[in-house]
Each structure stands twice: as C-alpha cells, then as structure tokens.
Structure 1
C-alpha cells in the first residue's frame, strides 16, 4: 500500500495550471463530476488513497488544493460512463421507451457482462474490506466502464462533439472486460474501528441498502455484499429486488440464483464474503480470468 500523505503535500498547484475543465459529466449529493475534476472532501481522498493501485478500483491520478477551498480529485476518465449510462443507452437503442408504454421486464445486460460486473465489483470490495473499509454505496451509478478503443476514437474528435458524451460504436457488440470495470467511491465509504468493527447510521442509496442498514442496526462489510446482490439482480432481471428479498423468477439460471441467495441472506453473518463471490461457480463459468 502506498504511504498516505497529507492533502497539502500532494496538492501543490492550482487545478487550472495543469487541467482544462471540458464539461460537467454529472453531479450527486457528495459533489460534482466534471470532464477533468471531481470535487469532494478530505475524507474521500483518504479512503481512495488507501485502495489505490488495486484492479477494479477507480484510479486516482492526482489531487489539488484549489483557491475555492475545495479539494479536487483527478481520476481515470471512463469512456463508457457508468453502468447506468450504459443501461440507459441499451434501453434507448432497443426501442423500449417508444410510445410511452411500459417495457416488459428483461435483463439490462447480457449474462456474461453481468458476471464481469459482479466479479469486478467483488474484486474491488476484497480490497476495501481488507483495509477495514465499507464502501456503503455499491450501485449502477458508481460502477464505471472504460473502453480503450472507444476512448482513443473519442480523443480524436473535436471538443464540441465530446460535450455530448462518449461516442459509442453501436454496430460492435463487445463484451465487457473485467479489467475495464471500476468501482468508484464518492465520499460514502467509511472505516471500521478496531475497537468497534461496526458502523451506524444510514448511508448509501435506499434501493440497495441491506436490511440492517435500513432498520438502523449496526452493520459492517456484509452490507456491501447485499448491495452487490441487488445490483446483480437488477442487471439480470431489469427489476429491483422484491420486498421479500428473494430473487425474481426471471432469474432462471441455477448458478446465478444460488449466488444471489448467498449474497441476499437477511442474516449478515450468512452472506458470502467478496472472496467467496469471486470463487463462485457462476462467476467462473463466464469470467475466464479473475
């Protein structure tokens, strides 16, 4: 693990001196994402530094202490955007939104792609959990995909076209690759204290929250596994997890069903660990290299 440094030691010059802010990519409750910056707080910097250099964790390239009083993080640019961006583009290209009619529930990603996503996020969570960190906000919006070929094509376009978002060659049906999928942390992750290895209070996104978090009970890294299960269920079915917590019958593959049951146990102690998710047979079926 790299030695952690204070913010002032790494932030040695103004943002504008080294980067041009092209456009705002999006915003959330914890900050704003721009084409070349992410504004957030010192706590997030410490959390991100702890897991840097690990596969499937969004790379942090640099940080800056700007005159506006904020810390600016320079992270990997992911050409495909978040999983939510990809899902919405897929829905649009398939014509599901035409006519204002409700679309029939169907998978948001092909099964091999879903397996690659689950393996990538689980791999990142192994690193988080080994450092005593709980991510607390695993969801579509916080998983990013970078396609090196598309990124190269995008870099050669003019900035006016770039403002409209990543350019995607929809004629090419390419599977997601595990090494191109990254879990991002936008300020919600927290550290388990050795003397009391549990967290308290609501954090994250309600649809993905584990029962113990929603109920206001103490929780730990097992809450991340529940969130990953909800994400996997959503990608496989196009539906949120039913209130009873059991997978929807649309999940017909036995291996996928078994993995979901292992992640979605209401008892945190009975849930799989991130390492066990990685070694599950359903993951091995689709992901050749973990």
Structure 2
C-alpha cells in the first residue's frame, strides 16, 4: 500500500484503486464506527463527498474504504495559484452552498455540536449566556447537511478541476449559518499545520482576509449577507473553538470572544 495522506488521527493509503483510511492505535473502535456511519450517510445524499465502500479488518487494523479521488489538496493548489485566489474562494462559496442544499438525518444536531461548549465557557455572565442560548435555540432547529470543518485542507481538486470534499468526521445535521461561520473563521484565523515563519504568517493573514471576503460573497450569491446572525454564530463558533484547546489560537480567541460579547450582547 502507498501512503497518500496523513492526519492527526489516521493515515490514508492507496490500494487497488481505493483510498484506505487506517486510524492510529489510540483511536477507539467506537470512533471509527461513528466515522463509518457518517461517511455512509453523507455519501448517500451528497455527490461531492467520496463514495464509501465499507469497513473491514486488515492485518489487525480496522480500515475504512473510500473512493480514491485523484487530484490535489486545495491548499496546495492555492499556494501555486496566488493570482487566482479570488476565483478559488468563490468556488469554495459555491461548493459550500451546494452542500447545504442537502438535508440529512441520523447525524449529530447543531445542539449536539455546540451546546456543551457554550454552557462550559467560564468568562461570560449568566445574563449574556442566556442571550446567546436564546439566539442559539431559536436558530438551531434545522436539518441541512453541514460539513463541520470545511477549509482548503479538506477540499480536493480532481483531475477535471472539480472540487470534492473529504474528511466528514465532524459533519452534523443543522443550521447552515453555523457551518458558514466556522469556515469563515478558519479561512481568516485558523492555524495551518506545520511551522511557519513570521513572513508566512503575514501572507496567510492577508490572503485569509481576501479569501474569507470572496467566499462569503459567493456563498450568498448576490443576496444580502445576514451580518447580525452571522456575527452571532461567529461568537458561538469562537467559544466552541476555544473549547477545542488549540494553543496557538487561545489568546486571540479570548480577546475576540470578549469583544464579541461586548459588541453583540451588551447593548
């Protein structure tokens, strides 16, 4: 088998025309089974996702079998096509809108995804938490397919220049704006893997601003952007992201959350 990709939880190998996902030893069977269930459900409704061929045991390892999408990771494409970043970002917006056109059941809900992290966040008053939860409860009861972690590392460009979306482990059935807010945050502020110089960080920040802006414009396709609701979801996403404990982002998240609470809730 040929190694074609690695992640925090698994490695992906090419074998007999399929992509085999092999998880690291400390990943539980329950987690692998959950990903298999998600992959099967998503593949049934969304052609952008890779086809799923099932789960089996090989050499004492539990393996998930997927369609092997021939192509390149979008983040690598973007590094080589800096003059086409606007076009690529618009393609991402259109892609995400297409995902959200599907409805799905049997996955985690928006409440399953975010409620616990909201209730556990310490640096917020009871009054402001109640305001967030009121908005959250009024806007969460939807059943659209949400990827949960859409960013250029989870998008492939196939040999026909079509975008395909991989890694659906965080998918849920819920409110599209919550998913948009997550992607918008990741495009502008997410921490890419690996070490980067100060110059790299500067370039990424400038590119992130451009890509995020064009992504949003494309997603809403000429319609007014619901700024108020998107900002509220942005605050919720930041609180949830803080709970993920990504060290490089914690300090900036604390400041952004405090500013968001003051600007959106204390009025």
> TM-score, normalization: structure 1?
0.46
The structure with the greater share of residues assigned to helix is 2
The structure with the greater share of residues assigned to strand is 2
> TM-score, normalization: structure 2?
0.49
